[in-house]
């Protein structure tokens, strides 16, 4: 069985007084998830907006990834599978 789908992702970046904030919104049609991230620049640091954007966006995407994995793990458990959380020891085989 072939499965194809498209999810839309919007990344919003904004800066306020040395803090770059990011919000990433994932629309899967069935649901919407939002990840958040921020980067804080020390007053002693050189002002390089691209670095703040990268750090804040990376943190927002990491937050979104954690949410997606949590949902998938709950869905897997709901199907009667063994506990497959990242911190749980593997039932069989090698740890990943």
| Structure confidence by residue, pLDDT tens digits, 38-93 | 999 988 999 899 999 999 999 999 999 999 999 999 989 888 876 555 566 555 55
Q: What is the DSSP letter of 9?
A: E
Structure confidence at residue 90 (pLDDT): 53
Structure confidence at residue 92 (pLDDT): 52
Q: Which CATH entry fits the domain spanning 8-78: 3.30.160.240, 3.40.50.880, 3.20.20.140, 3.90.320.10? A: 3.30.160.240
Q: What's the rounded Cα separation, in Å, for the pair 88 and 70?
A: 13
The separation between the first and the last C-alpha atoms of the chain, rounded to the nearest angstrom, is 28
Question: Model's pTM, two decimal places?
Answer: 0.79
In the chain, where the domains are located: 8-78
Structure confidence at residue 96 (pLDDT): 46
- Is 60 in contact with 11 (CB distance < 8 Å)? yes
**Across-strand partners of 39?**
20
Structure confidence at residue 87 (pLDDT): 60
Confidence of residue 18 (pLDDT cuts 50, 70, 90): confident
Distance of CA 33 to the CA centre of its chain: 9
Q: What's the rounded Cα separation, in Å, for the pair 67 and 9?
A: 14
Whose tokens are 């999810």? That residue is 7
């Amino acid at each position: 069985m072939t499965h194809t789908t498209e999810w839309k992702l919007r990344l919003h970046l904004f800066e306020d007084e040395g803090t770059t904030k990011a919000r990433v919104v994932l629309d899967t049609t069935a649901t919407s998830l939002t990840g958040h991230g921020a980067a804080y620049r020390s007053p002693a640091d050189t002002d390089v907006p691209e670095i703040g954007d990268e750090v804040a966006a990376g943190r927002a995407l990491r937050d979104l990834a954690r949410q997606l994995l949590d949902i998938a793990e709950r869905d897997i458990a709901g199907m009667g599978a063994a506990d497959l959380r990242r911190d749980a020891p593997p039932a069989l085989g090698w740890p990943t």
